[in-house]
Structure 1
């Protein structure tokens, strides 16, 4: 997987674009700045946006090429990111380190997904927020019609509402919904798809 993402991110262009995810941007700006962790952040478009909004930003990903591109984008916008490369349990984050966590297309393998979600919740302070957008299992039909819309090809990497509500059951959902979207996020998220979105708060 690391090699796959390094190869993808080694391109000169930003394969998911340089602008933040539309849903994340629309919800994130409703809250006062604090400290935020971005999971599976790739080339840094969302992390850089948060840093421009005066948040203290930490991010992680498996890909060293993703980090390189993210830091390049941060320099372009004159902001700072604390970007880590590696697997989440080994990165040294502590309970209560963050005011928010962003999971924007963070499709972890099913064998570690619930464990990672539990860890990320533990890193939140009281009243901390989760911002989430990811591809639904219903997205597979759209991929078959238009492979350019992107997203994992393996169904077990896609999300169901039931699985997510179970993983985040200890949080209060401020909103939660599944919807069709017309994605325009670089060359690899282009076209109609189905996503699940939510904002949740630690009680």
Structure 2
């Protein structure tokens, strides 16, 4: 899997752009109250760097060495610190109660078994009262074909996210279609689903 992403990121351009995800930016009210953040499978770093620009201490994880290198370069250009770690999330030792915020934007590379492990790890990494911000594609995205995986079992439904995050307080769970432009990787009308969930204090 890392070879696939290394090859995809092996270009001077940022495949998903250098601008942060619109859903993440829309949650600035939550972000502004946090001190620490974990950006999961953050690729070339656009979201992690933006979080660092908001004043958070940010750890960004990705399995691609090329992606991590581009994330570090983007952080350097923007003048922010970023703890960018090369990590295979399969078998990753998630820290316990380490972050105020866990961000997962289009991390739909995982099969259902690994996805369950990742979602459980994300919850473990949250401090009590901390939040998860997650955005992904719904099954309807297959008809749009404007980004994301082509495998149905890697897409998110409302019911699946409700079950996966049942131990958290789900503050927002919104399914909708919208036009997005994120580099060349995500372009056009898209079937999206957004989650904001809080770990009970």
TM superposition shift of 1:105? 0.4
1:87 aligns with 2:84: no
Match of 2:75 in 1: 74
Give the match for residue 177 of structure 1. 174
Distance 2:43 2:89 in 1: 14
CA RMSD of aligned residues (A): 1.2
Alpha-carbon displacement from aligned partner over 1:101-122 (angstroms, at most 9, x marks no partner): 0010011222211111011101
Larger displacement relative to structure 2 (87-96 or 129-138): 87-96
TM-score by length of 2: 0.95
Please say if 1:140 is aligned against 2:142: yes
Separation of aligned partners in 2, 1:29 and 1:45: 19
Q: Provide the aligned length of Structure 1 versus Structure 2.
A: 198
Summarize deviations over 1:2-21 as a string: whole Å, max 9, x none. 11100011111001110000
Q: Are 1:113 and 2:110 counterparts?
A: no
TM-score (norm 1): 0.94
- How far residue 36 of structure 1 moved from its aligned partner, in angstroms, is 0.5
For residues 153 and 90 of structure 1, the distance between their equivalents in structure 2, rounded to whole angstroms, comes to 25
- Structure 2: runs of 5 or more not aligned: none
Change (3 A) 1:89 1:190: closer
Q: 1:23-78, CA deviations, whole angstroms, 9 ceiling, x for partnerless residues?
A: 10111344313111011100000000000000000011110011000001000001
The residue aligned with 2:164 is 167
Native 8 Å contact 1:28 1:131 kept in 2? no
Query: Does the 8 Å contact 1:179/1:196 carry over to 2?
Result: yes
For 1:137-180, what per-residue CA distance to the aligned partner results, in whole angstroms no more than 9, with x for missing partners?
A: 1111111xxxxx21111111111111111010111111111010
Please list, as runs of the form range in 1=range in 2, the aligned pairs for 1:125-136 lying within 5 A after superposition.
125-136=127-138
